[in-house]
Amino acid sequence: MNDKNNLNPEKKNDLVAIDVKNAIKVFKKRKWWFVVTFIIVLILFLLFSSSLYKNSRYGVKSQVTFLLNNSKYLVMISELYPEEYARMWLNLDKKNIPSFLGNIANGIDGDFLLNEVNQSLNLGLSNNELRERISYIINDKKNKLTITAYSDDMETAKKLNEAIINIYIHNTINYFNITYDSLLLNIEKKISEDQLSKNTEEYNSLVSIQKDLVENKDIYINKITVANLPDVVQNFYLRDVLLSILISLFVGIVIVFFVNFIYVKKK
């Protein structure tokens, strides 16, 4: 009984060796089926992937974040001028950065900015087509928004990424500037009124706020900053070629043994 058990592994190894030899013989015999199948499947998958990612073969990403304003006068501004306080994003802090990053994504996705991007790059795309070439990822832990622009060539993807960020930051700074000028004007008017009414306490507070606004204008206006230089993140063509080759190999091998099975069955 022990002898039989000792022979079993050898018999199994012999059977495996025979199966491998048979498989090689079948493969050699039906090799042209494999070659033709491989070529056809490879071409079909490459054409499919090319049409699927024709406008997004390359991706270029950048990250934006915020420079926080830690002025001691923010509370006073919020109490005296709540509208300007909100419009200038002075309520921005570490806790609500993700929601403000979401505001940036929504702003970029709007028709107004997309029209500007389209015109600046002369892309000739509809806003919906342009939206399909842009993606956003909000990183709550690092407080950063990743903006990725896609195109069929790397240079266009890079220009698109830069245009989106530069135009958005430019428009936002202009908006903050308008609100900033309005806030200063209102403070100046209030200072004049307090001088006449001799409201010394409020007058001194307003003068301090005015001084802080003038001396630290950049901090109040330039909140959004680019966290890194544009970076190429995707090359869909290389990925799809490799995937197409693997699928073509698999299908080719399956067809070889399927055809051989049919021939053997007919005999």
Angle, vertex CA 130, rays to CA 124 and CA 136, nearest 5: 155
Tens digits of per-residue pLDDT, 129-159?
A: 899 889 889 887 788 899 999 888 888 899 9
Tens digits of per-residue pLDDT, 78-133?
A: 999 999 999 999 988 878 888 888 989 999 999 999 999 999 999 888 999 899 88
For the cut 50, the answer to whether the pLDDT of residue 15 exceeds it is no
Q: Could you give the 3-state DSSP secondary structure of residue 62?
A: strand
Specify the DSSP element, H or E, that contains 226: strand 224-226
For the cut 90, the answer to whether the pLDDT of residue 266 exceeds it is no
pLDDT band (50, 70, 90) for residue 172: very high
pTM for the predicted model, two decimal places = 0.69
CA 46 vs. chain centroid, Å, equals 25
Higher pLDDT, residue 176 or 24: 176
Cβ proximity of 163 and 120 under 8 Å: yes
The structure tokens 């006068």 sit at: 73
Q: Indicate the domain borders of the chain.
A: 2-52+237-266, 58-229
